[in-house]
Structure 1
């Protein structure tokens, strides 16, 4: 069964816009998957002080891969692009997060869907709204309601 998955992309090292473009190309080549949409790129402040600003986007991927197989494939893309997991919320060449996976609620040690912090992150919600306006999550939350509680502060839509 093919499911629509929304994936958050972020980078703040080594030419972040190029990192996101390369990641999108790699995602488009994933087995049993088709890249069906990409939001605008946004610049956002880092969660920790003293780090470079992030470039963020959201991609829509139609896939028949199981959730953990997709997670493994996305982590392989991160690793190929030089991702090092040393500091939580530290600077990174690439971060790929599964935000939503069809209408599934997933609570695995390695994967929580809907993504557990997306409601607090303008750099996730606003790009997601470009791809899926009016979306209702599997847990019943509405994207419009989350947007109303998450101001467009510290976020800049980048020219395409």
Structure 2
């Protein structure tokens, strides 16, 4: 199955955390790296005022894991990088969201697929469109089409940062 993951960080060594998360996610069987988007610096969406900007990227992969197992792996990697869940949309060392997992549709409150807010988030759709121009968000449409209605002013390309394939 094809999977799209959104990675973000606005605490600590943001870029090193994103790269470390990629290396750690793919350090076990069941998940194969396909591509990583360019890195974008983005204004925080929601949450408390005064947060530091995020670094965001999209990772496309292939997986043999079931969605629940993939979520558990993502949360384990978040925890390994010091993720604390204190307040919704608050600052965080690492956030890994499952955007799509194949064509899986899930209404489970712990794992809603596709991600229920992805179609509203330029910090997801802009990098996704870079790494997968033909990308489709199930139930919403082509990523490129979804971008036409979004304000992209808070999403800035960081040409000085490039994520590497996992070791």
- TM-score of the two chains, using structure 2 as the length reference: 0.90
Shift of 1:50: 0.4
Show the counterpart of 2:108.
108
In structure 2, distance between residues paired with 1:138 and 1:122 = 17
Residues 8 and 98, structure 1, Cα contact 8 Å, conserved in 2: yes
| Structure 1: gaps (5+ residues) | none
Aligned to 2:32: 34
What stretches of structure 1 move > 4 A for 4+ residues in a row?
A: none
Corresponding residue SS for 1:84:
coil
Task: Return the TM-score normalized by structure 1.
Answer: 0.94
Instruction: Tell me how many residue pairs correspond in the alignment.
Output: 158
Unaligned 5+ segments in structure 2 are 162-167
Q: Which residue of structure 2 aligns with residue 74 of structure 1? A: 74
For 2:140 and 2:157, how far apart are their aligned partners in 1? 28
| Matched-pair contact (CA < 8 Å) for 1:16–1:93 | yes
Q: Could you list the per-position Cα deviations for residues 135-154 of structure 1 after superposition, in whole angstroms to 9, with x for gaps in the alignment?
A: 23332522122111113211
Question: Structure 1 residue 107: deviation in Å?
Answer: 1.7
Q: Distance in 2 between matches of 1:50 and 1:23?
A: 25
